[in-house]
Amino acid sequence: MEKIDPRVIVALDVNNIEEVRDLVTKVGKNLKTFKVGMRLFTKYGPSIVKELKDKGYDVFLDLKYHDIPNTVETACKEAAGLGVDMLTIHTSGGREMCKAAVNGARDGASKSGKKIPIVLGVTVLTSMNETLLKEIGINNPVDVQVINLANMAISEGVGGVVCSPLEVKKLKTQIKKDFIAVIPGIRLPENNTNDQKRVASPDTAIADGADYLVIGRPVYGAPDPVKALKDIYTLMAKVNNVKVNNK
Ligand code: C5P
């Protein structure tokens, strides 16, 4: 299989650099972007980003920043300086924090001569459901909370949102601005859902308006990651994606 679908991002949520290299060797020729999350970044720091960039991949740095605006702004500036292509913030950090993140990303890119990374806002984690939201004092249904947070973040210049496959259609229909939807919680029919509570198959997510799919365990946890990726591409290819984003 020599095919690359740039809409698929594989999450490198593996144990160590040896497993990263092994996975990249196996599936790298069929991918444009890898996602580096908090585990790998905590263990290896910016060197993991550099290694992937040096190999020619785009890097999605998923550290889900959530702090006071100044702290998030300066962190986004540093991330942009590393040359990452996408980064995440928690939109629940509020309007000012979202705006600060966008400013930081722009500033860091212009100071380092790198491309401005896409700032993505995490709305409600795909591991959350209404019961868990209530426990942290949020009485909105999940979809309402997702739409509210997404609208706020996008109005502050955030380039896209991370949300579950169950909300993407509503988001693309209801938000009248240009934004990208990045969708985790993707599962093949044979997969365990693990800790994810709001999941869908790759074809359903694409049909509903996903621009990118973030996929971890269904690829790196598969007995044959290349076959798993191929199965994902085959399902995606069945969908003639009609954009449901009515601006
Ligand atoms: O293994 P799995 O396919 O469930 O991995 C999903 C990836 O997407 C993980 O790296 C997780 O951190 C990330 N993610 C998520 N839900 C969000 C944002 C990111 O699952 N709302």
* 3-state DSSP of 94-135: CHHHHHHHHHHHHHHHHHHCCCCCEEEEECCCCCCCHHHHHH
Write out the two tokens for 36: 């580096």
Report whether residue 40 contacts ligand 1, using a CB cutoff of 6 Å. Answer: no
- 197 catalytic residue (yes or no): no
- Taking the CA of residue 196 as reference, the ligand 1 atom at the shortest distance is 4
Q: Which residues, listed in sequence order, are joined to residue 61 by a DSSP beta bridge?
A: 36, 87
Report whether residue 184 contacts ligand 1, using a CB cutoff of 6 Å. Answer: yes
pTM of the predicted protein model = 0.93
Question: DSSP assignment of 46-78, as one string?
Answer: HHHHHHHHHTT-EEEEEEEE-S-HHHHHHHHHH
Question: DSSP assignment of 144-213, as one string?
Answer: HHHHHHHHHHHHTT--EEE--TTTHHHHHHH--S--EEEE--B--TTS--TT-SS-B-HHHHHHTT-SEE
CA of 195 relative to ligand 1 center, distance in Å = 10
- Taking the CA of residue 187 as reference, the ligand 1 atom at the shortest distance is 3
Report whether residue 217 contacts ligand 1, using a CB cutoff of 6 Å. Answer: yes
Out of 64, 114, 169, 230, the active site residue is 64
CA of 111 relative to ligand 1 center, distance in Å = 31
The set of residues, in sequence order, having a beta carbon less than 8 Å from that of 11 and lying 6+ positions away, is 34, 35, 37, 62, 184, 214, 215, 216, 220
Report whether residue 181 contacts ligand 1, using a CB cutoff of 6 Å. Answer: no
* pLDDT (tens place) for every residue of the chain, 247 residues total: 458 899 999 999 999 999 999 999 999 999 999 999 999 999 999 999 999 999 999 999 999 999 999 999 999 999 999 999 999 999 999 999 999 999 999 999 999 999 999 999 999 887 888 999 999 999 999 989 999 999 999 999 999 999 888 889 999 999 989 999 999 999 998 887 777 777 789 999 999 999 999 999 999 999 999 999 999 999 999 996 544 433 3
Write out the two tokens for 224: 């044959």
- Taking the CA of residue 13 as reference, the ligand 1 atom at the shortest distance is 10
Report whether residue 10 contacts ligand 1, using a CB cutoff of 6 Å. Answer: no
Q: Which of 62, 194, 195, 212 to probe ligand 1 with, by most ligand atoms within 8 A of CB? A: 62
> 72 to each of 13, 85, 162, how far by Cα in Å?
23, 17, 18
> What domains are there in the chain, each with its CATH number?
8-237 (3.20.20.70)
Other CB atoms within a 10 A radius of the CB of residue 166 amount to 20
